[in-house]
């Protein structure tokens, strides 16, 4: 269940948004000012923050700036300000969407769903998990049963390319071009040697790297 923080100094607006959000299956929490929102986001994890701009004390722009310095949480700004400058300023701060008051709660829920879908897809792209094998593409960390394994830079690149194209027959030429580069002047033995080393490091998961005789290699999809 996604957890949404609703930030607005007007109680009725918070209640209305939370009512719709709960109907959509979201868990909700509320804050009535920017400083409270910052404190809550830094103390807990939220899947999305819906925040008004014009609030007493710390405004939404300032709160957004402080939050983005510490956490990469999606933020939707709400405002009666429809000027292009305000929208540009919000996007410059890293907000994910901008909704002008008065707004439709149904539309707001659709925007939240769209943002959460995009974030979840990105997470899936950044990390690959196959039983005890976990590959974090962004951090360049590969673990087996939570134990990190050491790979050479080319082994990392080869494994990443195979996994991201899993289920696809990859020719030797394609692997050499995409992993070593178009200016590579070596021979197939370089690729075969790295595949051998990679298989050794992957241990029981080496079986997922399948040799295609006369063609190249394929990383099998999990059942």
Measure the CA–CA gap between 142 and 153, rounded to whole angstroms.
12
Q: Sort strands 216-219 and 170-171 into parallel, antiparallel or unpaired.
A: antiparallel
Q: Tell me, what's the pLDDT at 223?
A: 58
State both tokens at 115: 């943002």
Band the pLDDT of 90: cuts 50, 70, 90. confident
The fold adopted by the segment(s) 3-124 is Rossmann fold (3.40.50)
Q: What is the pLDDT of residues 169-198, one digit of tens each?
A: 999 888 988 888 755 555 567 888 999 999
Q: What is the pLDDT of residues 115-127, one digit of tens each?
A: 998 887 766 668 8
Q: Tell me, what's the pLDDT at 84?
A: 67
Measure the CA–CA gap between 60 and 35, rounded to whole angstroms.
9
Q: Tell me, what's the pLDDT at 187?
A: 59
State both tokens at 215: 């063609």
Q: Tell me, what's the pLDDT at 83?
A: 63
Closest to 127 in 3D by CA, of 160, 158, 152: 160
Q: Sort strands 75-79 and 48-52 into parallel, antiparallel or unpaired.
A: parallel
Q: List where CATH 1.10.10.10 sits in the chain.
A: 131-219
Q: Is the pLDDT of residue 37 over 90?
A: yes
Domain 131-219, architecture per CATH: Orthogonal Bundle (1.10)
Mean pLDDT score of the chain: 88
Q: List where CATH 3.40.50.2300 sits in the chain.
A: 3-124
Q: Tell me, what's the pLDDT at 91?
A: 80
């Amino acid at each position: 269940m996604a957890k949404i923080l609703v930030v607005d100094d007007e109680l009725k607006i918070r209640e209305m948004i939370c009512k719709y959000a709960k109907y959509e299956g979201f868990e909700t929490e509320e804050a009535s000012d920017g400083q409270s929102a910052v404190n809550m986001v830094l103390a807990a994890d939220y899947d999305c923050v819906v925040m008004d701009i014009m609030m007493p004390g710390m405004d939404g722009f300032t709160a957004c700036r402080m939050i983005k310095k510490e956490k990469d949480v999606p933020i939707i700004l709400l405002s009666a300000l429809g000027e292009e400058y305000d929208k540009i300023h919000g996007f410059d701060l890293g907000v994910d969407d901008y909704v002008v008051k008065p707004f439709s709660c149904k539309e707001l829920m659709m925007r939240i769903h769209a943002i959460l879908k995009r974030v979840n897809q990105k997470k899936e792209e950044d990390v690959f998990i196959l039983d005890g094998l976990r590959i974090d593409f962004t951090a360049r960390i590969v673990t087996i049963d939570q134990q990190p394994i050491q790979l050479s830079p080319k082994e990392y690149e080869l494994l990443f390319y195979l996994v991201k194209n899993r289920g696809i027959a990859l020719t030797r030429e394609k692997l050499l071009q995409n992993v070593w580069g178009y200016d590579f002047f070596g021979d197939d033995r370089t690729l075969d040697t790295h595949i051998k080393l990679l298989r050794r490091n992957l241990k029981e998961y080496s079986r997922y790297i399948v040799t295609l005789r006369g063609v190249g290699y394929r990383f099998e999809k999990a059942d």
